[in-house]
Amino acid sequence: MRKNLYLQVAALTGLLALSIVACQKEKSATQDPEEQYEMTVSKLSSESDAEAEIIYDNIFDDVMGASDEVGLYGSGIFGREYGLDTAQRCFTVRVDRPNAPRPFPVIITVRFPQSGCMGPDGRVRRGEIKTVYTNRLMIPGAESVTTFLNYSVDSVTVGGTYKIKNIVDPVQIMIFPPQYNHKWLVTVVGGRLGYPNGSLVEWNSTKTIEQIEGSHTPILRDDVFKITGNADGVGVRGSITTRWLSEIIDPLIRKNICRWIVKGKIRTVRRNLSNTSPWVAVLDFGRGTCDNAATITINGVTYNITLR
């Protein structure tokens, strides 16, 4: 499952840079200072939420793919030993079994050198990711807890606790032929992103990831996932601090054959505003086409976004 999605948003972060095409209504050019401020802060909220979504979303793949015995047949940027050249395999993987010879719990630690390790996705990682698994994550009730030590992606430090729990009803597994989709509850607690320029994002998230196609085949290319849920966060850039709530209002759809989110919408609302405020931001990933185009709409003004 590939979810290496990167929004280009003109922010102070270096991870994202927003490419804005002039789709704005004429009124945007004549906004008074108060309207300009509202627009700026709403965009900052949406961008910050997207930044956190991107980084922690990739952790799902990596936790699933740390080894075949714990997840989805080696999915994820670290888990695929095949197809990686020597430079891309500059990380190490350690496996510890506290109750050996029992296979679980198992602790898998992925370490990257402080000099940096560039993966196939072009991102440079440093530091350590440690995950404790109670069982293989394809098993109902199985859980994993991931923590980070001096971990960074392209100089963005990553903190917090990342949890996955398989929430499929065990009774469904007993049906023959099986009539269920793989489903996981994914939470981020105390997420924290730090940037070299002093910018900061704090983020908590509760999402459900459901595999809606390809559940019962041994190949990855036919896998399709649906994501729903919500998050809350705080973003600091320069003199601006913003707090927001976000919700997936149209399920996000991801396909293994496409590196982009192909469909779905996320609504971001600043904490001091209502859902009916004109300054609510809606990020739209499109209608199902595999491309790197998306939009953000605020107060009737739509900005074209290029994903990379």
**Mean predicted confidence (pLDDT) in 7-32:** 41
The string of pLDDT tens digits covering residues 120-170 is 777 899 999 999 999 999 899 999 999 999 999 999 999 999 999 999 987
* Amino acid at the residue 265: K
Q: Which two tokens stand for residue 107?
A: 């602790």
> Domain total for the chain?
1
* Residue of 201, 150, 163 whose CA lies nearest to 60: 163
* Residue of 266, 258, 298, 259 whose CA lies nearest to 285: 266
pLDDT of residue 32: 83
Backbone angles phi, psi at 117, to 5 degrees: -135, 115
Q: Is residue 16 part of a domain?
A: no
pLDDT of residue 120: 74
At 54, the pLDDT band (50, 70, 90 cuts) reads confident
Expressed in angstroms, the distance from the first to the final Cα of the chain is 17
Q: Is the peptide bond before 105 cis (omega within 30 degrees of 0)?
A: yes
Domain with 178, as residue range(s), is 26-290
User: Which 8-state DSSP code applies to residue 75?
Assistant: -
Q: Is residue 177 part of a domain?
A: yes
- Residue with the bigger pLDDT between 4 and 193: it is 193
Q: What is the largest CA-CA distance in the chain?
A: 70
Mean of the per-residue pLDDT values of the chain: 83
Name 166's bridge partners: 184
Q: Is residue 229 part of a domain?
A: yes
User: Is there a contact between 148 and 132 (Cβ–Cβ < 8 Å)?
Assistant: no
The answer to whether residue 91 scores a pLDDT higher than 90 is no
Q: Is residue 21 part of a domain?
A: no
Q: Is residue 279 part of a domain?
A: yes
- The predicted model scores a pTM of 0.84
Q: Is residue 105 part of a domain?
A: yes
pLDDT of residue 72: 67
- The DSSP string of 55-69 is HHHHHHHHHHTS-TT
The answer to whether residue 28 scores a pLDDT higher than 60 is no
Q: Of all residues in the chain, what percent carry a pLDDT higher than 90?
A: 52
Q: Is residue 145 part of a domain?
A: yes
